[in-house]
Amino acid sequence: MAEEKKELFSRINGDLQKALKEKNELRLSTLRMMKSKVLYVNARGDLPDPDIIKILTKFGKELIEAAEEAKKVDRLEDAKKSEAELTILMEYLPKQLSPEEIKAAVEATAKEMGATSIKEMGNVMKAVLAKHPGVDGKLVNQFVREILK
């Protein structure tokens, strides 16, 4: 198996140092939280980039939920903070695929694998998620079900 890239964690650390020097509080706290999430999974942080992307994607979903909850209870300052943190986080994630791009990836993967029945759903999902780390698993699931009916 080819050596997986491990550049993302180094980039987060480097940017954390830069934010510290610039005294950019929001960026600093967001980067610290991102680093903390990675270190919680692996104490040395020596995970391959696809694993770090999964961790950061999950953190992104938490930030989106936090912003929505804050808006529901009329705490607009908290909602703005969560959205600003999400903006910083998105700089470290691969470009998010549109639903159309996800569907095309699922179709291509299913065709590539020769998958025709719903019994092969798990294998197709695994392959799509491996090729496109950080993609929305719910959408992948939905499109795989549509295609393999």
Residues 74, 124 share a domain: no
What is the residue range of 15's domain? 8-90
Tell me, yes or no, whether 114 lies in a domain. yes
**41/52 Cα distance (integer angstroms):** 9
Q: Tell me the whole-structure pTM to 2 decimals.
A: 0.73
Tell me, yes or no, whether 3 lies in a domain. no
Residues 13, 36 share a domain: yes
Number of structural domains in the chain: 2
pLDDT tens-digit profile of 55-86?
A: 998 899 899 999 999 999 999 999 999 999 99
Tell me, yes or no, whether 1 lies in a domain. no
pLDDT tens-digit profile of 101-132?
A: 888 888 888 888 888 788 888 888 888 888 88
Residue 116 class from Cβ within 10 Å (0-12 exposed, 13-18 middle, 19+ buried)?
exposed
